[in-house]
Amino acid sequence: MRKDEFLKLFGGIEKPKEELFIDIKRDKIENREEAFLNSLKLVGGEGIIVKKDDLEEEILKRFKSAKKIASIYPLSFVNVNPNLIDDPKELEDIDVSIVKGEFGVCENGAVWIEERENIHRAVYFICKDLVILLKRESLIDSMHEAYKKIDPKTSYGVFISGPSKTADIEQALVIGAHGAKSLKVFLIDE
């Protein structure tokens, strides 16, 4: 359809005079931690509650055989700083990426990640295993709350919920087709 035809058909439609507002009343989640961990498990992820002092030990325990661990955070076992790499294609053989989340959503196990410190977006998706560090007190109830928290000026952000998954028309589920094969969220108790 040409632009002039489109405008002829739809150009005279007026914008609503009042803004549509839908207020959804939801019960508050009593135990956010439990709700988040259950939702994360349902989408194939794993949540681990850990004290800040035990974080390195707990990560290493789960990734003993990892050869290339990428993070911009000063963890003793990290051997790749993705911000020191010019071409994100050089990250293709990363075993584990460790990133920080801003907040977690209890209703679906999603974690909001913003690109503030990481230069390459690929670090979230190119690894075999993704580790997200999240403060224990940063859990919120719903996606409605989540969208209210996101700054519209954010240059890039993404919700990640579970490992990468896809299913073809034969309903064969493939894990890790377009991203990490596993997701572990460490809820850090400071």
pTM over 0.85: no
- DSSP letter for each residue of 24-87: ---PPPS-HHHHHHHHHHHTT-EEEEEEGGGHHHHHHHH-TT-S-EE-SS--TT--B-GGG-S-
- Mean predicted confidence (pLDDT) in 164-179: 76
131 falls in which pLDDT band (50, 70, 90)? very high
Question: What does the pLDDT read at residue 100?
Answer: 95
Quote the tokens at residue 109: 């196990």
User: For the chain, how many residues are written?
Assistant: 190
At 100, the amino acid letter reads K
Domains identified in the chain and CATH numbers: 29-189 (3.40.50.10420)
Mean pLDDT of the chain: 89
176 falls in which pLDDT band (50, 70, 90)? confident
pLDDT digits (tens, 9 = 90+) for 118-128: 899 999 999 99
pLDDT higher than 70, residue 21? no
Separation CA 162–CA 177 (nearest Å): 13
Reduced to 3 DSSP states, what percent helix, strand and coil does the chain have, rounded to the nearest 5? 25, 25, 50
Question: What does the pLDDT read at residue 154?
Answer: 87
